[in-house]
Amino acid sequence: MVFENGRNRLDLITNILTIIVAVVFIAMAVQRYALPAETSLKAPPPGRAITFENFDPTASNRNVLLVMMKGCRFCEESMVFYRSLLEQYRGTGVRFIAVFPPNGEDLDGYLIQYGITGMDVRYSELSGVDVQGTPTIIVTDESGIVTKSWVGKLSKEKEKEVIAFLNS
């Protein structure tokens, strides 16, 4: 009986340690593979002029370029935020433009599947808008001069920063 009691305790401790190790490994895997990493990609700096075919910045005193690529996981994860921006700023004079690399596809349907409608769609090489990766948000003035930009899937804090900037 004493032997069994000691053995039961040892089994219990071993099981608890196994569970702890498994939880640690799962947490490490989620952090490494499921959560977006902070990006080292640079966004277009303030003061940089953005020009590309069919982009007329004079149509609004504040243009928000949402630079995306079909199949980009972080772009797709950002669509909920983009849709909320469109809804929040509809009719305010802030102009939203989706910018995709040219691939021969009409991407209006791609946006519609995420509930995004009423946004201009333009096509440009990423280098043409001084972007290294997607998603990227670029805000320009009526001259096409960058006033602020963000790269990557934004944290909730960065999303609030975008909204605060657009409200300023």
We report the CATH number of the domain holding residue 104 as 3.40.30.10
Q: Tokens 């983009």 label which residue?
A: 82
Q: Torsion angle of alpha carbons 97, 46, 165, 142, nearest 10°?
A: -50
Shared-domain flag, residues 24 and 85: no
Q: What percent of the chain has pLDDT over 70?
A: 88
Shared-domain flag, residues 75 and 25: no
Which long-range contacts (C-beta less than 8 Å, at least 24 apart) are formed by 25-28?
A: none
Q: How far is CA 110 from CA 27, 78, 114, in A?
A: 33, 14, 7
pLDDT in tens, 48-74: 999 888 899 999 999 999 999 999 999
How many domains does the chain fold into? Answer: 2
| Residue 75, domain extent | 57-167
Shared-domain flag, residues 9 and 85: no
Residues paired with 150 in a beta bridge? 137
Structure tokens at 122: 């333009």
Residue 96 placed within a domain:
yes
Average of per-residue pLDDT across 113-119: 90
pLDDT band at 146 (very low <50, low <70, confident <90, very high): very high
Residue 43 placed within a domain:
no
Shared-domain flag, residues 131 and 85: yes
